[in-house]
Structure 1
């Protein structure tokens, strides 16, 4: 039988031990909606043609994933670890950039890949745009990539109807991974800064909502600037609220953080190259069982199967926190929507600059009274600040100053790196000055009977003011 000490030691080896080596790299993943301008479903045959065209043009990219139908869904450059792939479905393209020391190298390669791919799609009256929810989602086919991982993931999300006695609301969008897009950043973190990094960055999630929200669910929830938050929270990923969203606790030390890891849920493992789904359950509870009844995909259908827990199953522990500690010794920031393409590097620049000024950021947020010290948690504040209108109890001038001070602190951190990366923060200064963000702009255009096609075009432009 696997005991709690064994689980704790394995969690340490998987999550904490990789932070022992001090590094300072940056990794970026940008998911981007694909849009058929004919207002029809994205043509997957065109997607596959463009994948082949991309690989032919960038010959250093090698096939890294083939679906059950024989189509390539992932390409990887072994020289720099850049990946071009499709996320959840062929409606969503992703550029995962290999780790680098500076943002300019990442930006140059991303811009090149994006420009080539967008031009290729536009030859077929499709396009790409920088939005957190696909504005043409209602036209698309909601089918996952036929691969082990994505079939498992969709099966898990569709299983919400099986949770009969759970006092929780589930939304009706189990396919949300096929129409929502994020901009994620991974930064190396050392063991001694880990707890401080998570604690302090958690405090600015409400500010990030104001600066970066860009996920408007058109025709349904038009006054929410970041509906992505609800898509995660009210899905089967949120059966255990510790697996998603924010922490809402200040960790005292690494032991305290490890206890939080033990409180997470697990919902899948692999055996013989196949994923096995089972009802989401606490990690320690899972390891207390002799066997767990799950389902495995085989020959086009799901079959029941019993799985015996193995300590190595911690490999398949997949929380989706706003701030995740990964197996790579990195902190992954996951709460930001895909940005207008010209502003793509602002996300990484923001986090990278603030990581250099953790103590100053802590002092700034600890003394704040514009949003804090009013009886609300950080989670509650974020939920309020993803609304189109700022609540009346918050002074708009005060919160504007707080946003400016946070962005300015990020700029200071980047200036101290001496590379010039602070230029990537310019879009954020504009947003603070104009009291807006990309999601609010979408809502404003729609309220004034504007065209969503205007937004699609504008947010898809790759402009370079550097």
Structure 2
């Protein structure tokens, strides 16, 4: 048994202490579905050929992850810290751009990599597109990348039948990480601003849903513009609702935030380079035990194994909140779907522009009576605003004005940086003016009998600034 004070100290050291330094970098990660235009499963041999071709074109990229079959699933450029990898399976590619001071540098390198990879895939009648759920998911094979982490993760998600005495239902898509894609942003947030950043950004998650939703579960649920939310919430990651989704509380100070960290669940640790899975449990409960019974993957199968909790296991505490604290001292915003490729930088621009406008943003929300102060929490509002039809109590024009006021505030924040990054917000104004988002647009197009192939092509275009 480990003393609770030691656990609290370790949580502080891992999650909060790294924010003591004042920095101002931006990190962007963009996950993108791979599509076989022959309406067959993505050909993984083609994927491996493209990886090899990319390394020949960009020799600074070095192997950063090799699966059990000897295939490279991650490559990294040590000069820029850019990583090109496959996320969960070889059906998704991810461009994790090394941190930068400005969005133009990130956009230039992302555009170059994306163009090369997309053109290379098209030689094999495959392509890439900017959609949060793979529109050809029904054709794909769902095998996790044969690596320690991804085998563990899929095993955890498949274990939902083992949770019999909890008051929640699970969806039947444990492979959802292999067909859903996100656009994530990491910003350096100083410790003194941490609580306010989480509190204020949490309140605008409904507006973000309205602006950025782009995850339609085609053929199964064409009325929800951001089905990704449900895929996380009703999976084994959501056994403890504190591990996913929004913060439905206002933190008073860092002590409150610390208490929230203590309420999270842990579901895996590593020993001797191998992951051990166990049923998701509260982190304090985990450390109160002498041993925990888990499963370890060995020689193609799982076997039971007891593990003794160690204080350094805190580093395996991995919540998937919409707003996450990371071990790097950054705040990660992860509720936004992958966007149409030409609009990719709008996500980072939106968050970056608002980062230093928290007081003004809070005042906007506090004074709003269009959706806020109507008896709904921000979490409930987000659930309502990811539907393709607005609820009756919402004034459509008022909601557009509120959305525009928030984007205007982000634009001011970017203008004050003096670099010109506000140009990346331009797509959001079009969405507000036309009362659409990418997900709603997909639903409308499909209802009007537009071919999904036309949507795939349009959402995959890179475009120009």
TM range (shorter): over 0.9
Q: What residue in structure 2 maps to residue 92 of structure 1? A: 92
**Partner SS state of residue 327, structure 2:** coil
2:151 aligned partner: 151
What do residues 354-389 of structure 1 show as CA deviations (whole Å, max 9, x unaligned)?
002111101111111110110000000000000000
Which residue in the other structure is 2:236 paired with? 236
2:355 match: 355
Following the alignment from structure 1 to structure 2, what is the Cα–Cα distance between the partners of residues 213 and 233?
A: 16
Deviation at 1:166? 1.2
Q: How many residues align?
A: 465
How many angstroms apart in 2 are the aligned matches of 1:454 and 1:97? 29
SS in structure 1 opposite 2:164?
A: coil
Within 1, Cα distance between the matches of 2:184 and 2:154? Answer: 21
- CA apart distance, 1:3: 1.3
Q: What is the CA–CA distance in structure 2 between the aligned matches of 1:167 and 1:103, rounded to whole Å?
A: 43
Does the 8 Å contact 1:356/1:414 carry over to 2?
A: no
**Which SS does the other structure have where 1:417 is aligned?**
coil
Aligned residue for 1:143, secondary structure, equals coil
Separation in 2, partners of 1:4, 1:367: 41
Q: Displacement, 1:449?
A: 1.1
1:423 aligned partner: 423
Look up the match of 1:306: 306
- For residue 70 of structure 2, what is the aligned residue in structure 1? 70
Secondary structure (helix, strand or coil) at the match of 2:416 reads: helix
> What CA distance in whole angstroms lies between the structure 2 residues aligned with 1:423 and 1:304?
54
* Structure 1 equivalent of residue 5 of structure 2: 5
Are residue 368 (structure 1) and residue 368 (structure 2) matched? yes
**Alpha-carbon deviation of 1:440?**
0.4
Using the alignment, how far apart are the partners of 1:423 and 1:357 within structure 2?
18
User: Residues of 1 paired with 2:257 and 2:420: CA distance?
Assistant: 35
Paired with 2:24 and 2:167, the residues of 1 have a C-alpha distance of: 43
Secondary structure, counterpart of 1:30 in structure 2: strand
Aligned-residue CA RMSD (Å): 0.4
How far is the alpha carbon of 1:105 from its aligned partner?
0.2
SS at 1:144 equivalent: coil
- Say whether residues 1:178 and 2:191 are aligned partners: no
Aligned position for 1:222: 222
Q: Does 1:256 align with 2:251?
A: no
What SS is found at the alignment partner of 2:293?
strand
Looking at structure 2, the residues matched to 75 and 45 of structure 1 have their Cα atoms a distance apart, in angstroms, of 17
* Match of residue 449 from structure 2: 449
Give the corresponding residue for 1:287: 287
1:221-279 CA-to-partner distances (Å, cap 9, x unmatched) read 10000000000000000000000000010000000000000000000000000000000
> Given the two structures, how large is their TM-score scaled by the length of structure 2?
1.00
Structure 1 stretches lacking a partner, 5+ long: none
- Provide, for residues 46-70 of structure 1, a one-character-per-residue CA deviation record: whole Å limited to 9, x for no partner: 0000000000100000000000000
